[in-house]
Structure 1
């Protein structure tokens, strides 16, 4: 009997606690802001997002929203959730940013895209998109204090793009398609650095098994050794 009573009380407390979380609404802006900040401090971004939504829904004109939006952007970036970080940065720029705040947010957007590229060889589109963002930033803020960092990211992205294009060109070489190889070698070549001075990124052995080192791969034996008809026609016409 005692055991049944204790279980019933525990269940009641649990249900009451859950109900309390669900029924929370119509709170002051300071309440939601504090809850959001505490959730971010606990690295519970799911709850933080929920508290931010409540703050935004119930207090659409609150002065807390500007700072709260930036906090959420940086919190998601710290958790390597770069798409969500960019979402909050776009919201910040669109709704709250002062000229100085906009510059910082635009810089963070570039940084978020840059950090989202742990394996640049796998996302040519994101490299190009980030480099376009860099050009826009440098044009909009030619005297920005963030330019040294932006220039460093730009250099690394240009090297990554050049290395990726060279690997694609080498693949076309192995397939006997010189036109394709020539095309990729002509895309924004890195002429200001000697190719033999570039230190290529180390590829973990478990990736290298499948991706190769750019010059050859374990699946080379599957690639036909004969040149394509198109390539033969091109070579014969020269």
Structure 2
């Protein structure tokens, strides 16, 4: 009786151990199996699981060609979900593993696009706007003949317009608060802009934002 009792406990412990091991996650999969699992995670809209399974894939298959496609897919998935820092992480990973002169402009373009998509409200993200302007200028100098030139030029124009609008808003704020000298500094900045004295339709904020976000 005692023998059967201890045997029962031993079997129970073994099954419990197996269950814990099974629930720890996937491992020892082929690159193709990892890839299919990540695609399934994305179809299920579970980006957290997709990130977790990418880590498993990358650790078990360090330089497998399927990683190249997987990194781009994950970067785009995070851009679609407005998770731009994670998107940049995957693009940086892609650049480290698969970057070459053949696709360098494409990766730089995707990183700029991620920043552009992250820019939403016209009187926020001043640092993001200025950083993006600089990145785009450097991109156009480094790749003057890139096929992405028209797209990046459009982004640059929109960033320039956003900076102009922000400076104009700050100038008006200084005038309203009696800080004339500061307002004149911003007036000079506006005069140097390509948009100065042009008829521009200012972006409108939804009413529930405008209450809190107007200067």
Shared fold by TM > 0.5?
A: yes
> Which 10-residue stretch deviates more, 22-31 or 130-139?
22-31
Distance 1:23 1:72, change over 3 A: closer
CA-CA distance at 1:108 after TM superposition: 0.9
Distance (whole Å) between structure 1 residues aligned to residue 210 and residue 25 of structure 2: 53
> Which secondary structure state, in structure 2, belongs to the residue aligned with residue 208 of structure 1?
helix
Write out per-residue CA displacement over residues 112-143 of structure 1, whole angstroms, 9 at most, x where no aligned residue.
10110111311110000011110011011101
Residue aligning to 1:110: 112
Q: How much is the aligned-residue C-alpha RMSD, in angstroms?
A: 2.1
Which residue number in structure 2 is paired with residue 9 of structure 1?
none
- Residue number among 45, 60, 63 corresponding to 1:61 in the alignment: 63
Q: TM-score of the superposition, structure 1-length normalised?
A: 0.77
Residue among 30, 47, 62 paired with 1:28: 30
- 1:99 corresponding residue in structure 2: 101
Change (3 A) 1:107 1:189: farther
Specify whether residues 30 and 119 from structure 1 end up closer, same or farther in structure 2 by C-alpha distance, changes over 3 A only: same
- 1:211 corresponds, among 202, 210, 213, to 213
User: 5+ unaligned residues in a row in structure 1: which ranges?
Assistant: 1-14, 215-238
Q: Which of residues 156, 161, 165 in structure 2 aligns to 1:163? A: 165
Cα separation, partners in 2 of 1:189 and 1:101, compared to 1, 3 Å: farther
How far off is 1:28 after superposition?
1.7
Deviation at 1:83?
A: 1.2
Superposition deviation, residue 62 in structure 1: 1.7
Q: Equivalent of 2:82, from 62, 80, 83?
A: 80
Distance 2:126 2:119 in 1: 10
Residue range with higher mean Cα deviation, 60-69 or 130-139: 60-69
Q: Is the 1:66–1:97 contact (alpha carbons within 8 Å) kept by the matching residues of 2?
A: no
Q: CA deviation at 1:190?
A: 5.9
**Counterpart for residue 150 of structure 1:** 152
- The question of 1:47 aligning with 2:63 is answered no
| TM-score normalised by L of structure 2 | 0.84
Shift of 1:24: 2.4
* Counterpart contact for 1:162–1:189, Cα < 8 Å: no
